Amino acid sequence: MLTQSIAGYLIAFAEQSSKNVTPSSALYGYGYGGGNFWLFLFWLVIFFVLPFLFGDYYQLLRLSGTINRLLVDLGRTLNQNMSNIISTIENIARKKNITTPNRSEIENRIKDMIEYVVITPTQLEPQGLVSKLKHLMILYDHRLEDLVRRIIPAEKPIVQNLASSIEALRVLNFIYKIVMHYYKLGMKYKNPWILLQVYMALPQIKEFVNALNGAISAFTKGQPIGDSAGPLTAFKFLREKCEEVEPVNHSIENTYIARCRYSNRTIYVIKALGPGSNTGRIDDAVIYLVERCGVKPKMIITVDAALKLEGEKTGTIAEGIGVAIGGIGVEKFNIETIAARYGIPLYAILIKMSMPEALTLMTKEVAEATGRTVDRICRIIEENVRENEEVILIGVGNTIGVGQ
């Protein structure tokens, strides 16, 4: 219908113009009606014909230019963070009088580390899959810390912080390679629809990259991040609410367990061993308390950071049922299994924050929310646990910058 209308309009316009145009004016496009007709025909070609002929090419140029600028920014961010990590290693070595390789050798080793891969176990037979995943997780953590220790043989918290920095750099490098892959693929086949997949995800990619950039800065400085809200809550509960605090002897790696008394109830507090960057082995700690030490908890309370939705306020606290642990689900599975076996109720408290806030330096809103969370924990214990009964409280998350 649109084509027929345009064609009819052109015929009528041409007939009207021919009545008022001399041969010379028709030839040169001047005179009454002639100039208007050729001008109309020119714009018709511009707006209706050229987009159909060169639309994909224009889209390809526009999308490739935008994605190329992103790749330039990503490359610059990678290089800056690589330089910051190397400078941090050199400063620590200088202060502690530690011998390290030269700068180019450190850079080459870090480049090898950010290309390190973890191959997930086969899922053809799901039985035993969780234990295989846990084995690989522990093996990767040990290997990464060992590689860092070969560069700078410093104290464990320093090695853990540098390992986390390099792990964040590894994720940043992976994002760069994925974006580059789709960029090269789209340009290779001259296909704008391949580039469009990256273009639509640009806001999320930029937000994640900025978050990783802030995370690397926090890790190298040993500062608490938003994900440290769980361990910080456990720390505050021990310091502000508990009496008769005493550590529990165990051999679980990177994990702190303390027993204390609160309002005539026995509380076992579990968190990662700080202040180095790690998340501990909290599932092993729960299994140790319940099956090895004979603890009979009336509930297990987990406190963790949770991603908020757009529109929710940072620091909002939510209560629920279940195990509040992120990641690939190994610790969550093990705690759920032990709780189901012994019929232990599972309570969860979530502290809401955005993804950048979870990975970067802890904000004032999150820090204040941990204090309110401690009050929530006290209320839950007083309302649901009788005197002389036992509770397990777990501060889930990265304990960087948070001690015991």
DSSP letter, residue 225: B
The alpha carbon dihedral of 302, 304, 309, 310 has a sign of positive
The predicted model gives 311-330 an average pLDDT of: 94
Question: What fold characterizes domain 226-395?
Answer: Rossmann fold (3.40.50)
Tell me the pTM.
0.85
Tell me the sheet residues that pair with 225: 361
Of residues 37 and 286, which shows the higher confidence score?
Answer: 286
**What is the separation of C-alpha 31 from the centre of its chain, rounded to a whole number of angstroms?**
67
| Chain segment 371-380, per-residue pLDDT in tens | 999 999 999 9
* Alpha-helical segments (H) within 126-268: 129-151, 156-188, 192-200, 202-221, 229-240
Q: What is the 3-state secondary structure (H, E, C) of 227-269?
A: HHHHHHHHHHHHHHCCEEEEECCCCCCCEEEEEEEECCEEEEE
Residue 154 has pLDDT above 70, yes or no: yes
**What distance in Å separates the CA atoms of residue 152 and residue 98, rounded to the nearest whole number?**
7
**What distance in Å separates the CA atoms of residue 92 and residue 161, rounded to the nearest whole number?**
12
pLDDT given for residue 48 in this prediction: 66
- Cβ atoms 194, 139 nearer than 8 A: no
Residue 34 has pLDDT above 60, yes or no: no
Domain segments of the chain: what residues? 59-221, 226-395
- Cβ atoms 195, 67 nearer than 8 A: yes
pLDDT given for residue 39 in this prediction: 76
Burial of 47 (0-12, 13-18, 19+ CB in 10 A): exposed
Confidence of residue 238 (pLDDT cuts 50, 70, 90): very high
**What distance in Å separates the CA atoms of residue 325 and residue 397, rounded to the nearest whole number?**
8
pLDDT given for residue 322 in this prediction: 96
Report phi then psi at 388, rounded to 5: 70, 10
- Cβ atoms 166, 110 nearer than 8 A: yes
pLDDT given for residue 318 in this prediction: 97
Percent of the chain with pLDDT over 70: 87
Helix 192-200 vs helix 50-96: angle between axes, to the nearest 10 degrees? 50
**DSSP-based three-state secondary structure for 304:** strand
Q: Write out the two tokens for 387.
A: 């005197």
Task: Give the number of other CB atoms < 10 A from CB of residue 245.
Answer: 14
pLDDT given for residue 2 in this prediction: 43
- Cβ atoms 364, 227 nearer than 8 A: no
Q: What is the DSSP string of 17-77?
A: HHTT--HHHHHHT-STTHHHHHHHHHHHIIIIIHHHHHHHHHHHHHHHHHHHHHHHHHHHH
Total number of residues shown for the chain: 404
Residue 8 has pLDDT above 90, yes or no: no
| Chain segment 279-295, per-residue pLDDT in tens | 999 999 999 999 999 99
The predicted model gives 174-180 an average pLDDT of: 96
Q: Write out the two tokens for 127.
A: 């039985």
Exposure on the CB side of residue 302, measured as CA atoms within 13 A: 26
- Cβ atoms 297, 391 nearer than 8 A: yes
Query: 336 to each of 68, 322, 343, 346, how far by Cα in Å?
Result: 46, 8, 10, 8
Tell me the sheet residues that pair with 353: 307
Residue 57 has pLDDT above 80, yes or no: no
First-to-final CA distance of the chain? 76
The predicted model gives 109-131 an average pLDDT of: 91
Helix 156-188 vs helix 202-221: angle between axes, to the nearest 10 degrees? 160
